[in-house]
Chain A
Amino acid sequence: MANTKNIIISGVGGQGILTASEILALCAMEEGLDVKKSEVHGMSQRGGSVVSFVKFGEKVYSPLIEKGSGDVILAFEKAEALRWRGYLKKTGGVVIMNTLEIYPNTVSLGLDTYPENIREEFEKYNVKTIEVDAVKLSKEAGDPRTQNTVLLGVLSNFIDFSVDTWINVIERRVPPKTTQANLKAFELGRGVIK
């Protein structure tokens, strides 16, 4: 539907994508919106490519994002941004991608090649492209497992939720021992865009 916001969160199994999409969806709920999120469990979690769709607005029907209707791709791994390009809307789409590259064994075994010039592949279609070194920022925040929160911080600049909503939900959802690091990670991510 035209009035929903559609976010594609992609990456590699084990990167914390499902936690990130859960936090985003709970923020939407806290803001009083209807929200759905969809992802597939099972085979994809053994290091395979993983995607989670989050849609929110006044009323959400299908949990799936239609190709050509995505507002933002939030990619935890670089090549996993490009894979989903067809889901972005033709104009005004945004891609936020981690600079981390994880080579699958198909590349090492010579069965496939890792995509090149990913940034250019978006920019040539005038997609606003933001690269983030979430590995570095998460270490700065004090815990390398907070990469997903760094990326949510960057995303928060493109979504109309109050900062308090984000902070409340993050505090509720992350393990208590890591709250400080996660809040710091969120702040660092949010600060990437000035």
Chain B
Amino acid sequence: MKKAFLSGNEAAARGAWEAGVHVATAYPGTPSTEILENVSKFKEVYAEWSPNEKTAFEVALGASIAGARAMVSMKHVGLNVAADPLFSSSYTGVNGGFVIISADDPGMHSSQNEQDNRRYAKFAKIPLLEPSDSQEVHDFIKEGFEISEKFDTPVLLRLTTRVSHSKGIVKVDERKDVPLKDYKKLPEKYIILPAHAKKRHYFVEERTIKLREYANTSPLNRIEWGDRSLGIITSGISYLHAKEVFPNASFLKLGFSWPFPEKLLKEFLDGVEKAIVIEENEPFLEEEIKFLGYNVEGKKYIPLVDELSPEVVRKGVLKEELERLPDGKGVQRPPQLCPGCPHIGIFYNLWRLRATVTGDIGCYTLGALPPYRAMDTTICMGASVTNAHGFDKARGWDFTKKTVAVIGDSTFVHSGITGLADIVYNKGNSTVIILDNRITAMTGHQHHPGSGKNAKGEKTPKLDFEKLAKAIGVRKVYHVDPHKLRETRKVLREAMATEEPTVVLSERPCALLPEERKKAKERPKKVVLTDKCKGEKCMGCIKLGCPAISLRDGKAYIEPLLCVGCDLCQQVCPFDAIVEEGQNG
């Protein structure tokens, strides 16, 4: 048997491939992104980046109905976007096996909330699988396809950041090719007219009863008998943290956790003196158990907020800590836009213009942080456009002429287009800046319909933002290179002052794209002439927010390891104190 060192996400891709998956879809989102990136490397699998999670879900469901084994992966908030087809799919059921992967982000390492998507499984009445490590991700996804086909149901495989992004040793196998299932036209199953859906709802309830029975014997659930004075009921990553703190306790380890395996629980409770539930975030298992009438505690010991770790478990349950050294002082080091980032030009100018900015999600959300602090709202993907329209309708033109919406290209395609249609349709006057850096940068550079390539790196038609805006009814569309600071400011002023819907296309590729890196290597870096630099008294280049520039001994300093020679700092220095390497002014 072959062994590999895989992250949870790599293991998901590998397991799905081994299970014979035919179609895989996704929209990127940390911590789920690498699932599709890895599955797209297998030539037997059709893999796509879809424009958003709803489209991704529907494509995968369509493939399943057509007879393929299909999977869709997304981050936790992506399932909110895909919630509509999720609930319908529970009623329709599947043809080929269908696995939905939700990667949740306890601790909010890169997310806007800490929602616990186990609740979606229960809400939509579909089985829930919770692997603890890479090996289990690999094994569970295969089991997931079997369960899906056996019980005619989508299956939710729930990962969390520490499962997705931790690596461990995995025993891997070869692919088993699975033929497509026959396709039959079944209107009563796949057309959820009210009359059909009523019958399907009975089906869903019967299915749940069968799944509840099956959960008791599922190989994904097990009792580990140890010291019987303490029994721990747990699932997912929480199992590993708990095992670390209580290596000798008895465990009810749940991998198939909804519908809840009551018989197994009863056997466990009968065998231990005291039982507690250790789970991250929501009291999902605890509520199930209490509802069944058993008296166990969980959230009495374990916090609702933030991710779990061995020390949180130890503190919560045992009220103690390991002996250790005191925490050291850490300097605040928030993420920043990269040296040479196209977004710098926009946020530097929005700060200079003192604009009100409805923001969105992407690298450019960093425009909310110092030195710019040039953002007023960030709600969810797409909300910049619609929030600006709301501001406009609440406060009128005098306010709107100082307001802009800022949205990335990938985010605009994901869910900004309908908002722009709203502005035009309902006679708004907002200005929308689309930050076209040709890629989905934030999540690690995935293609999207505006980038001209697909998930396999093949060329595809590129969405034309100008034509799209014009077709929606926007009459004034401007183009700017955000690295021409003055010109950009002039265009922004003009667009904002125009009393009708306007779109500004800010066009420059992300500085981390290979072609841009190559250009950077060929360009000379910049240096500061300390005798000309007014340093602390000026702060001009510091306010640009380029991470290569810092203040050292009262003067500006450019770190040569970081500088990409883009020249933005030269544009803002009023004293000509920044020159090319090797020159001295």
Residues of A within 8 A of B (CB): 1, 12-13, 22, 25-26, 29, 34-49, 60-64, 66-69, 79-90, 93, 102-109, 111-115, 121, 125, 127, 144
Contacts and interface: CB of A to CB of B under 8 A. Distances in A.
Interface core residue of A22, A39, A61, A114 (most chain B CB under 10 Å): A61
Contacts of B551: 103, 107-108
Contact of B332 (A37, A106, A127): A106
Interface in B98-113: 109-110
B581 to A, nearest CB: 15
B322 interface: yes
Interface string B302-346: 000000011100100000011111111111111111100000000
A146 B331 CA distance: 25
Given A46-B337, A66-B309, A68-B324, A41 B332 contact: no
B444 interface: yes
Contacts of B579: none
Interface in B248-291: none
B552 interface: yes
B79 interface: no
B240 interface: yes
B324 A64 contact: no
Contact of B338 (A1, A41, A47, A112): A47
Contact of A105 (B161, B165, B545): B545
A102 B335 contact: no
B322 A36 contact: no
Contact of A62 (B241, B321, B444): B241
Ordered nearest first, which 10 A-B pairs have the shortest CB separation? A68-B324, A42-B110, A68-B322, A83-B330, A85-B328, A82-B328, A46-B335, A63-B166, A48-B335, A86-B327
B243 interface: yes
B309 A90 contact: no
A43 B321 contact: no
B443 A79 contact: no
Interface in B359-380: 363, 366, 370-371
Interface residues of B, number: 60
Given A29-B5, A42-B31, A61-B243, A115 B336 contact: no
B30 A105 contact: no
B322 A38 contact: no
B200 interface: no
B contact patch SS: loop
B331 A106 contact: yes
B499 interface: no
A41 B550 contact: no
Contact of B314 (A44, A66, A103): A66
Nearest to B309: A64
Contacts of A61: 240-241, 243-244, 247
B473 interface: no
A48 B337 CA distance: 10
Nearest to A2: B247
Contacts of A84: 328
Contact of B165 (A29, A41, A68): A41
Contacts of A112: 331-332
Nearest to A48: B335
Contact of B329 (A62, A66, A82, A111): A82
B547 interface: yes
Given A43-B110, A105-B550, A88 B325 contact: yes
B306 to A, nearest CB: 13
B8 to A, nearest CB: 10
B324 A86 contact: yes
B76 interface: no
B136 interface: no
Interface core residue of A42, A45, A60 (most chain B CB under 10 Å): A42
Interface in B146-177: 161-162, 165-169
Contact of B334 (A81, A89, A104): A104
A42 B169 contact: no
B109 A43 contact: yes
26 contacts: A1-B244, A22-B167, A25-B167, A39-B165, A41-B33, A42-B442, A43-B109, A46-B336, A47-B338, A48-B335, A48-B336, A60-B168, A61-B241, A62-B241, A62-B244, A63-B167, A66-B244, A85-B325, A103-B550, A105-B545, A106-B333, A107-B550, A109-B542, A111-B332, A111-B370, A144-B561
B409 interface: no
B516 interface: no
Given A62-B243, A66-B322, A125-B325, A41 B30 contact: yes
Contact of A69 (B322, B542, B550): B322
A47 B550 CA distance: 13
A62 B309 contact: yes
Contacts of A144: 561
B133 interface: yes
A61 B542 CA distance: 45
A37 B167 contact: yes
Interface core residue of A29, A63, A87 (most chain B CB under 10 Å): A63
Given A47-B335, A60-B168, A64-B310, 18 more contacts: A25-B5, A35-B169, A39-B165, A42-B110, A46-B337, A46-B338, A48-B336, A62-B240, A62-B241, A66-B310, A66-B311, A83-B329, A86-B324, A107-B551, A108-B542, A109-B542, A115-B328, A121-B329
A52 B442 CA distance: 20
B576 interface: no
Contacts of A26: 5
B6 to A, nearest CB: 11
B559 interface: yes
B162 A63 contact: yes
A26 B324 CA distance: 28
A176 to B, nearest CB: 18
Contacts of B314: 66
